[in-house]
Chains A and B, each alone.
Chain A
Amino acid sequence: MKHLKIDNLHVSIGDREILRGLSLDLPTGQVHAIMGPNGSGKSTLAKVIAGHPDYTVTSGDILFDGESILAMEPDARARKGIFLAFQYPSEIPGVTIANFLRAALQARLPDGEELEATEYYAKLYEKMDLLEMPRTFTSRAVNEGFSGGEKKRCEILQMAMLRPTFALLDETDSGLDIDALKIVSHGVNSLRGPETGMLVITHYQRLLNYIVPDYVHVMVNGRIVESGTKELALKLEAEGYDWATEPEAEAVGA
């Protein structure tokens, strides 16, 4: 079992603190959900784990199986096994999905080793079938002109191909219609297992009916204010976040 451990993490952008002492322990084999109001810092957490250069970690640590990854470049973290399904995936004009994923997998091979093309395509098609994506997608440029839902599906396709140890899914359900939600959840569930830990960020308890989490955390103002089992999500759905908001805390953005 491996652990992704967030230890009392403080993160700022400019002189504004966004994460304010956040701790979390995600072991492989588990799915944790994070819920919280807009602007509470959920995406920031995901991007900081992935190594986004805009954010500064002012104190605390991120440990991948006991080893700090703070000094690692984003690409090294990715190759180590961290995957982020973006809330807003970027478009990469002219680069086809097939070429992109091929380059990403090639980057994981030792020097001098070449990715085997037939195996690669077999695997790609298998995962596309799983996500009910038409074959024509392989020759389309990454996310270019994709609908919101297609983008999210493409993120999960990449995850399925790259097989991360820790996957961070940032609002993968937003923009999906109900059928797509089922297909994507099925795709995600097929990747669940003792080798994989997942952090699922969402606003809707509905997703958690499909991807059933082991734990649910509530994040407010850059901290986790409450953790519990999946029933916590139902409470949030019913009551909102008011009960969890610390009255003394300054509003983020003030």
Chain B
Amino acid sequence: MSDTQTQLDIDREKGNFRYDVDYEFDAGTGLNEKTIDYICDVKGEPDWIRKFRKDALKKFLEKPMPTHWASHDLENIIFDKIRYYLSQGGQKPKKTWDEVPEDVKRTFERLGIPEQERKFLAGVEAQFDSEAAYSNIKEAVGKQGVIFMGSTDALKEHPEIFRKWFGKVIPTGDNKFSALNSAAFSGGSFIYVPPGVKVSHPLQAYFRINAENFGQFERTLIIADEGAEVTYMEGCTAPKFDTATLHSAVVELVALKGAKIQYITVQNWSNNVFNLVTKRGLAMEDAEVKWIDCNIGSRLTMKYPGVVMKGRRARGEVISIALAGDGQHQDTGAKMVHAADETTSNIVSKSISVGTGRATYRGLVNIPRHLKGCKNNTECDALLINTSSRTDTYPAITVRGTGNACQHEASVSQVSSEQIFYMQQRGLTEAQAMSLSVNGFVNDLVRQFPMEYSVELKRLIDLEMEGSVG
């Protein structure tokens, strides 16, 4: 460690600041078997994980970029220039904020994480680049038998539960980026909620990227045992760099019989981040998996949270809000795979495109012929702010059999200059008028967010709209 001098860069955006830190562990640039050995050694991982990672690396290298359907902007990711593992203060997260190294701690303080934890959370994990700097669960929640820890610790401490589900909801070779994550993963949360336990307050993870030319590959696995209930929220930010940063997570949810998992994301990456994330949940009999997904930042986001409804009467839901600002592309959607009778799914997607921003909705709903009593409802609405804004919708709905029902509605609307004039005539600036209409557009969805998050969301929309006019 050299000097502890820090440098501060502030911009108007909350997450766009950076304190310099010294990295004790750095796997260098590029990803090959040696990088994987470095990560495994540093983390002290068992051999089965080393093999799992190396197999994944092969799949990652074999798989082509999905540019035949996805954005060609993916070609601008230079995998050899990215650093795949960086950690500052070791691999074991601290249980109190006092133990967290000063330069990392103040980043999270500035982002308001310890404060939120005190106010309304059951537990928090705060990841800084590759490793969690802090991870703690409220004593009362821990006493109920709830396990909440980093995935590295979990695979060592609870292999019997971890191995049973790890990579089972999203196989390594699901897509190029799930393979990449499987090869390089570090950080992310592991949660296990015992049968019948209902966690009353949300558990939260905050993902912070601090380094340039870096890739963050957290891996999250949440298991709600029979009749259990849990809400998990994740937030994220990064400072704005000139170079591309990669964030590629894999999130697997398992809701056993009668369990409920709600997973909330407020993605606020800076505009240089490629955010390529695979998220999927498995819902067994009478279980429910609900994704509430809000994408505001990043350069390109590709994310289609899914639910595989494996048990009778299972329910899947995706509620998503995407805001594509100038130069951003939010390519989001949902996957609903019905695999049992009487399963129901609901997708509500709202996107807003501002300036040259582009929002793409891709939906996949599959109800096979042999099933009975399945239902899907899909609504997707797009709002275009400027004439240069763009939206596309690619719904792929396959509903077979006569005992199944599907309802699909889509709309594209615009904030007209007459509406803006009307609001300005009442004294609102153009930017205020814009954010009011945008907030109005997403209002019904924002209400589903926990209060603390909906306030934050409204503030983020205001900031984004402020930047977009005049």
What are 9 sample pairs from A and B whose C-beta atoms fall under 8 A apart? A50-B421, A51-B425, A74-B425, A86-B422, A90-B419, A92-B437, A94-B437, A95-B439, A95-B440
Q: Does B444 contact A (CB under 8 A)?
A: yes
Tell whether, in the assembled complex, residue A103 and residue B443 are in contact, meaning their CB atoms are under 8 Å apart.
Answer: no
Give chain B nearest CB distance to A159 CB in angstroms.
10
8 Å CB contact of A50 from B416, B425, B439, B444: B425
Query: Scoring B residues 412 to 435 as 1 if CB is less than 8 Å from chain A, else 0, what string do you get?
Result: 010011110111111111101100
Contact yes or no, B422 A90, CB < 8 A: yes
Q: Do B441 and A75 have beta carbons less than 8 Å apart?
A: no
Residue of B417, B422, B429, B432 near A89 (CB, 8 A) is B422
Q: Which residue of B lies closest to A81 (CB)?
A: B427
Chain B residues contacting A107 (CB-CB under 8 Å) are 426-429, 432
Q: Which residue of A lies closest to B435 (CB)?
A: A103
Interface residues as binary, A33-59 with B (CB distance below 8 Å gives 1, 0 otherwise): 000000000000000001111000000
Residues of A within 8 A of B111 (CB): none
A1-60 residues at the B interface, CB under 8 angstroms: 50-53
Bound Cα distance from A4 to B441, whole angstroms: 37
Q: Which of A53, A93, A108 contacts B440 (CB 8 A)?
A: A93
Whether A158 sits at the interface, judged by CB under 8 Å, is yes
Interface residues of B in 421-470 (CB under 8 A from A): 421-430, 432-433, 436-437, 439-444
Contact A79 B437 (CB under 8 A): no
CB A89 to nearest CB in B, in angstroms, measures 7
Closest to A161 in B: B426
CA distance A33 to B436 in the complex (A): 34
Bound-state Cα–Cα, A90 to B423, Å: 9
Task: Determine which of B418, B433, B443 lies in contact with A94 in the assembled complex, contact meaning CB atoms within 8 Å.
Answer: B443
For A101, the closest partner residue in chain B by CB is B426
Contact A74 B424 (CB under 8 A): yes
Contacts of A69 in B (CB 8 A): none
Q: CB within 8 Å of B: which residues of A?
A: 50-53, 73-75, 78-79, 83-84, 86, 89-95, 99-101, 103-104, 107-108, 141, 158, 162
Given contacts A94-B439, A95-B439, A100-B436, contact A162 B422 (CB under 8 A): no
Q: Which residues of the other chain, A, contact B444 by a CB distance below 8 angstroms?
A: 94
B439 contacts A79, C-beta separation under 8 Å = no
Q: In the complex, given contacts A100-B423, A103-B432, what are 5 additional A-B residue pairs having Cβ atoms less than 8 angstroms apart?
A: A73-B424, A78-B426, A90-B419, A93-B440, A94-B440
Q: Which residues of B contact A (CB under 8 A)?
A: 413, 416-419, 421-430, 432-433, 436-437, 439-444
* Chain B: CB-nearest residue to A52: B421
For the complex of A and B, 7 pairs with smallest distance between CB atoms = A94-B440, A95-B440, A90-B422, A74-B424, A104-B426, A78-B427, A75-B424
Residue of B nearest to A47 (CB): B421
- Whether the pair B441, A94 counts as a contact (CB closer than 8 A) is yes
Cβ of B416: which chain A residues have Cβ within 8 Å of it? Answer: 90
The answer to whether B427 touches A162 (Cβ under 8 A) is yes
A75 to B421, CA, bound (A): 8
The residues of B that contact A95 with a CB separation of less than 8 Å are 436-437, 439-440, 443
**With A52-B421, A90-B416 as given contacts, are A108 and B437 in contact (CB-CB < 8 Å)?**
no
Q: B436 contacts A92, CB within 8 Å?
A: yes
A78 and B439 contact, Cβ closer than 8 Å, known pairs A90-B418, A94-B444, A107-B432? no
CA distance A35 to B425 in the complex (A): 23
Instruction: Report the Cα distance A103→B417, complex, angstroms.
Output: 19
Contact yes or no, B441 A93, CB < 8 A? yes
Contact B441 A79 (CB under 8 A): no
Cα of A103 to Cα of B439 in the assembled complex, Å? 12
Question: In the complex the two chains form, is B421's CB within 8 Å of A100's CB?
Answer: no
- Which residue of the partner chain B has the closest CB to A168? B425
Task: Tell me which residues across on chain B come within 8 A of A158, comparing CB atoms.
Answer: 426
Across-interface contacts of B429 in A (CB, < 8 A): 73, 75, 107
> Which residue of A is nearest B416, CB measured?
A90
A162 with B440, Cβ < 8 A, contacts A52-B421, A53-B417 known: no
Q: Is the beta-carbon distance between B440 and A92 smaller than 8 angstroms?
A: yes
CB of A50 to closest CB in B, whole Å: 5
Give bound CA distance, A104 to B432, whole Å. 10
The closest CB in chain B to the CB of A105 belongs to B427
Contact A75 B436 (CB under 8 A): no
Chain A contacts for B443, CB-based, 8 A: 94-95
Which residue, A53, A103, A141, has most C-beta atoms of chain B within 10 A?
A103
Q: Does A75 lie within 8 Å of B430, measured CB to CB?
A: yes
Evaluate contact between A92 and B419: CB separation under 8 angstroms. yes
Chain B nearest CB from A224 CB (Å) reads 24
Question: What distance in Å separates the Cβ of B34 from its nearest Cβ neighbour in chain A?
Answer: 54
A108 vs B413: C-alpha distance when bound (angstroms): 30
Given A100-B436, A103-B432, A92 and B422 contact (CB-CB distance below 8 Å): yes
Contact between B440 and A75 (Cβ–Cβ < 8 Å)? no
Determine the chain B residues whose CB is within 8 A of the CB of A52 once the complex forms.
421
Do residues B440 and A104 form an inter-chain contact, with CB atoms below 8 A?
Answer: no
Contacts of B433 in A (CB 8 A): 75
Report the separation of the CA atoms of residues A101 and B417 in the bound assembly, to the nearest whole angstrom.
19
In the complex, how many angstroms separate the beta carbon of A165 from the nearest chain B beta carbon? 13
In the complex with contacts A94-B439, A94-B443, A95-B436, A104-B422 CB distance below 8 A: no
